[in-house]
Every structure is written in structure tokens, then in C-alpha cells.
Chains A and B, each alone.
Chain A
Amino acid sequence: MYNRTPWSAFALMAALAAVRMAVAAPPSNDGATIGGGSNILPKPSTERTLRLPNPPFNYVDVELPAHFKTPAARRFDNTPSYNALSDNGATLGRVLFYDTRLSVNNTIACGSCHEQKRAFSDPKRVSKGFEGQLGDRNAMSLINLRYQPRGRFFWDERARSLEEQVLMPIQSKMELGQDLKGLTEILAKDDHYPELFRKAFGDSAISRERIARALAQFLRAMVSYQSKFDEGLAKARSVRSDFDNFTAQENRGKNLFSRNCASCHMPRGQTAHFIMIRPLNNGLDADIKNSDGGIGDLTLNGLQVGLFKSPSLRNVEFTAPYMHDGRFATLEAVIDHYSTGVKPHPNLSGRLRRRLNFSTEQKAALVAFLKTLSDQKFIADPRFSDPFQ
């Protein structure tokens, strides 16, 4: 019986595999830490009132622009079949994302370090934990996480799926410090959560798996697609054409980006996702001994030392400071780095071994183009806002 089951099931699965899953929702991102940019923490969620719309916000039926629907762009989607997006699932994820009870002392939530107005990043160079302890990395922005085809998260890609990633900051002693078993008990006693879990998953059982799935759904729902770039591309013949809604400087910056940056930041023949397919070393440090080793610090693989994941460039205007340690305060500083500041490293990406030597005008044009990726609607979208008021 046991032997037969897998094969018949495999046949079924093979048939299922032929069926293209039509998922239609947004994106999101990484780790959590503490403290908003204003250094003023909101009251704990337990001292505020949870306000949710009825019926729930629409997270599923989002009309994405055409460049998100091409085969090449759709291939970036990392939504697993076991966790398809639902309006109720993302709603639950939203509540969890902003609930300070996810930290052991009820002081901070995921949203404390991933501020919506900052495109879900932390304006601090490094984030603070539940007791104010400082981490050593900048909180990554949570933008279009759904469209990261490797499906790995954190600067060092140590999480192998979004479902895995979302539980890690909660349990981290440096970040939220919470115990998942204790958390499920807290949520089970709450007035709202059993019903939210029932709506999301069919019954009111609360488990770490369901917490992970709901948070991941909310993060995948966060898709930014309404920037000036998106509007321009929709009306242009191709991404190479000048965009009518761009200034001359922005179009010049777009051309510069296309020639010098797009091979890494807009890969695989698509124009929707400004992400890197693979982690790389971008020449931030030549000192191997005393610099964060990124992936190599976990694998001890000499070829992976100094490699880091890169977040999406969408909304990059809002996500300062930049790089894994938040060393660059401005986009101009980032461009300066790639222009003339790249340092030697044994694992330096081949594409960065040539000095780009941008002129002042070119740097300004690149920054102007990067700012066309800003999506004001995204950072003000009530579907992604704090539901505790």
C-alpha cells in the first residue's frame, strides 16, 4: 500500500504540474529588528485597537501591469503551491506583522524595523532588538519579495523560503526574542486571533506553520508596481525607448542603467523586477578577516566569502541607508562606490572588475532614474499599514 501510494500520487502530481497555477498577488521581504526611524516606538499593540475592514482588503485580484505578466517576469514568482495567497491569509499576516506580542517583552513587531513609509526598511544603519541591543546589519526592505526566484532571504540567504524566513527574526535573541510555542499560546487566548486563523485556514488552530504561512502571504502581497517607471514603460514601445513621462535626465539615467547595471539588477529578459538573481561580492571591503563574510561566514566556502544578496531596487529612494551594514547614507554614495570605490576581493563579481568612472552628470542621471522606481501608492497603501490604532 505504501509503495503504491507514492507512485500513484506522483502520477497525479505530474498531471498537476502541467497545470499552470495562476497566482495574482504582491511581494515582500526580510528580517526584522527594532526601533523606527523616529526613535519613538508606538504603544504596544495590546494597548491599541485592532481595526480591520469587513470584507477584507483585496490582496489577490490585483491588476498588475503587462510587464509583470510576461513569461519571463512570471517565472520570478516564488509562491509555493502550499501557500497560495488569500485575502484572509494576508489579513492575518498583516495583523501578525504589526503585533508587538511577537516580541518577548511586547515592545516591538516586524513593522517596527520595516517601516512602510521607508518601503519596509529601517532608516537606522543597524536595527535594534527587543531590549535595544544593536544588530550588525541593516534591515532589508520588503519589496516584491514574491518575485525573488531563488526564494532565499536575508543578506546571507540563510532562509530558504519566505515561510522559513519570517519565523527567524521572531525567535532571534537579537531581534524579537520570542518563543514560538509561547507565542501560539498567547495568540490562542486572544479575542481576535482564533477567528482570524479560522478565516485564513478553515479552523481556529494556531501553529507556528500557520503563523509562518500567514506572514509570508502578507509579505508576498506587498507588490510595488505603480512607479513612474511602470507608467512610462506601459506607454513606451520598449524599455529601451525614451519614456514620455521621463525628463531628459531620467531617460539618460535609464540608458546608463541599462548599459551598466541592468545585467545584474534587471536580469533574464524581463523589465518588471529590479532584483539580482544571485548573491555576489560588490567590492565593499578588501579586508577579509574583519569584514562581514556574508554567505561565506555560514558555509566557510572560500568562494562564497563576501557574497551578499541584494534587495529590490524598487523604492530604493526610500530605503537608505544602503548595503548590508548601512554604510552608505545616500544613493549618490552608492553610485560613487560603483563608479570608483570598488575594492579588490577574491570573490569580486566579474562585472565590477572594470571601473565605471561615471561623470558627475552621469551620476546625477543614474540617481534621477533610480528615483523613478519610487511608488508613492505602495508606501501609503492602507492594505499594508498598521491595523492597530
Chain B
Amino acid sequence: MRSRTAWLAFVLMAALAAVGMAVAASDDKKDGDSSKSPSGKDNRDGARGRRGGFQRGRGVSADQIVERLNSFDKDKDGKITKNELPERMQDLIARGDTNKDGTLDKNEIKALAAKLQREGGAAAFAGRGGRGGAGPRGGGGRAGFGPGAGLERALDDLKLSDKKKETAEDALKTYHDNVRKLMELARADLLLKMKNVLSEEEFKKFKETTDCSPPPPAGFRPR
């Protein structure tokens, strides 16, 4: 019974994670923000409620996101270039510039926003490398707002008793630990194979690239 429950909980968590939950949007269930569509036109912008507080918001709409990015369009030509964006946002150009003109226009921004939301937001952090990043790397879906974080949040949402939650969190920590170790193993396996393929100099460069590949999923870490 116990193992069945655990299995069901896992399936539930995996399903929730796959939906690409916008973890950060809701710091807890009270926020309730993340269950709403970000594209609702009837966005109330947290309008004042009856008790002098603010009503529940529904996220920022796609149009507002386009408007936000367009605020960086310094020369008002309708296109955003890399130099117009803060350094931390410049990766967006490479990710969304589908016509390869080195800029983002309104349609590309909308398409990119939709794509990133499908990927649960984690994609924004994937492949970030070189300057401002930690080196070339792929993946990225693990941490950030990816499945790992989804599992953590799904567990929070179950509202378990303290003792039960502690045990469940231990299990989840072990899961993260195992995934991380598998990643380390995969890297070691990759390097082993590459050693037979690449010259010494090529291997050295390749290894340097993998040295700063994303570490383990965040969330629960070894104590």
C-alpha cells in the first residue's frame, strides 16, 4: 500500500513537472498565481480588494511581455538588438532570432515567449555560455524551473504532515542526488570515449568545456 502510494505520488509529481510548472511564480499555494493563464486579457494587475489588499493576479500577458522587451528598443526601430539589452538578457537574441537578422521583432518575441513557456522557463538558462555564463553547455532543463523544481513544488502542494514531508523530502533529495551522480557518470563516460577519438590538444579543449557544465539539479542537496 505504501509503495503504491509512493508510486502514485511519483507519477503525480512527474506529470506535474512535465507540465512545466512556473515554479517561481508561486511562493506558496496562497499566491495561487501560477495556476492562472498569463495571457488573460482581463488582467487586473492586482487591483485593490475589499479589505484594502490586492486581489489575486493572473500573471503578465504576452502583450505585456512584448511591451516590456520593446522598452529596450532605444532607437525605436521596432527591433531589439543585442546591444540594446542588458548583458543578462542578451541570450534571448540568439534563442529567438528565427530570421537570423540579429534582432528580435514583435513576432519573434511572442514566439520566443511561447517557446520558453512550453519549456517551463528552464530553456532560458540552457546553453548559456561564454561571457556572462559559466561556459558552453547544453541541457538546463533539470534545474531552474525544470522538472527538478517541479517535484519539489509538487511535494509542497501535497501539504503533508511535517514527519511525512520530511521523509518524502529525504526521498526526493536522494532522487536529485542520484540524478546528479548519473550526470557525473555520464560525463566521465563521455570523456573516456572522447579520449579515444580526439587528439590530446582537442581533448584538453573539450574537457575544459565540460568542466563547467551544469552541476546537479538544485533543490535538495547532500547534507
Which of A's residues lie within 8 Å of B, judged by CB? 2, 5-6, 9-10, 13-14, 16-18, 20-23, 71-72, 74-75, 77-82, 136, 149-152, 154, 156-161, 163-165, 167-168, 171-174, 180, 207-209, 212, 263-264, 269, 276-280, 283, 286, 288-290, 293, 295-307, 342, 344-355
Q: Give CA–CA (A81, B223) in the complex, Å.
A: 9
Pairs A-B, 9 closest by C-beta atoms: A302-B38, A344-B46, A303-B25, A346-B57, A209-B211, A350-B30, A299-B121, A300-B113, A350-B31
The residue that A289 contacts in the complex, of B71, B149, B162, with Cβ under 8 A, is: B71
Tell me if B10 is interfacial: C-beta within 8 Å of chain A. no
* Residues 59-97 (chain B) with a chain A CB within 8 angstroms: 59-62, 64-65, 67-69, 71, 86-89, 91-92
The interface residues of chain A lying within 8 Å CB-to-CB of B147 are none
Nearest chain B CB to A152's CB is how many angstroms away? 6
Which of B's residues lie within 8 Å of A, judged by CB? 22-28, 30-34, 36, 38-39, 43-49, 51-62, 64-65, 67-69, 71, 86-89, 91-92, 109, 112-113, 116-117, 121, 123-125, 128, 130-135, 140, 143-145, 149, 162, 166, 169, 173-174, 177-178, 180-182, 184-186, 189, 193, 208, 211-212, 214-216, 218-223
The residue that A346 contacts in the complex, of B24, B33, B121, B184, with Cβ under 8 A, is: B33
Nearest chain A CB to B171's CB is how many angstroms away? 10
B221 engages A80 (CB within 8 Å): yes
A303 engages B22 (CB within 8 Å): yes
Q: Give CA–CA (A289, B70) in the complex, Å.
A: 8
Closest B-chain residue to A293, C-beta based? B68
The interface residues of chain A lying within 8 Å CB-to-CB of B211 are 207-209
The residue that A353 contacts in the complex, of B26, B53, B61, with Cβ under 8 A, is: B53
Closest A-chain residue to B123, C-beta based? A299
Q: How many A-B residue pairs have CB under 8 A?
A: 283
The answer to whether A288 and B134 touch (CB under 8 A), given A9-B185, A346-B45, A350-B56, is no
B45 engages A286 (CB within 8 Å): yes
A301 engages B25 (CB within 8 Å): yes
Closest A-chain residue to B36, C-beta based? A303
Closest B-chain residue to A348, C-beta based? B46
The interface residues of chain B lying within 8 Å CB-to-CB of A305 are 59-60, 64-65, 68
The answer to whether A174 and B60 touch (CB under 8 A), given A212-B212, A354-B51, is no
Q: Give CA–CA (A307, B86) in the complex, Å.
A: 17
Q: Give CA–CA (A337, B109) in the complex, Å.
A: 33
Q: Give CA–CA (A345, B64) in the complex, Å.
A: 12
A77 engages B64 (CB within 8 Å): no
A289 engages B174 (CB within 8 Å): no
Instruction: Pick 16 A–B contacts, CB within 8 A, sort by A.
Output: A79-B222, A81-B177, A81-B180, A81-B222, A150-B219, A151-B143, A151-B218, A171-B131, A171-B132, A303-B59, A344-B45, A347-B33, A347-B60, A348-B46, A350-B33, A350-B56
Q: Give CA–CA (A286, B116) in the complex, Å.
A: 24
B24 engages A304 (CB within 8 Å): yes
The interface residues of chain B lying within 8 Å CB-to-CB of A355 are 52-53
A80 engages B68 (CB within 8 Å): no
Closest B-chain residue to A177, C-beta based? B131
B65 engages A296 (CB within 8 Å): yes
The answer to whether A158 and B182 touch (CB under 8 A), given A301-B117, A303-B33, is no
A300 engages B124 (CB within 8 Å): yes
Question: From DSSP, what is the main secondary structure of chain A's interface residues?
Answer: loop
Closest B-chain residue to A2, C-beta based? B189
The residue that A307 contacts in the complex, of B25, B69, B173, B177, with Cβ under 8 A, is: B25
The interface residues of chain B lying within 8 Å CB-to-CB of A20 are 222-223
Q: Give CA–CA (A208, B129) in the complex, Å.
A: 13
The answer to whether A345 and B181 touch (CB under 8 A), given A75-B223, A300-B113, is no
B121 engages A345 (CB within 8 Å): no
A82 engages B215 (CB within 8 Å): yes
Most buried by B among A10, A74, A165, A295: A295
B68 engages A297 (CB within 8 Å): yes
Q: Give CA–CA (A208, B61) in the complex, Å.
A: 40
Nearest chain A CB to B140's CB is how many angstroms away? 8
Q: Give CA–CA (A298, B182) in the complex, Å.
A: 28
B56 engages A172 (CB within 8 Å): no
The residue that A302 contacts in the complex, of B26, B64, B125, B130, with Cβ under 8 A, is: B64
Nearest chain A CB to B20's CB is how many angstroms away? 9
The interface residues of chain B lying within 8 Å CB-to-CB of A18 are 174
Nearest chain B CB to A359's CB is how many angstroms away? 16
The answer to whether A302 and B39 touch (CB under 8 A), given A289-B64, A344-B54, is yes
Nearest chain A CB to B32's CB is how many angstroms away? 6
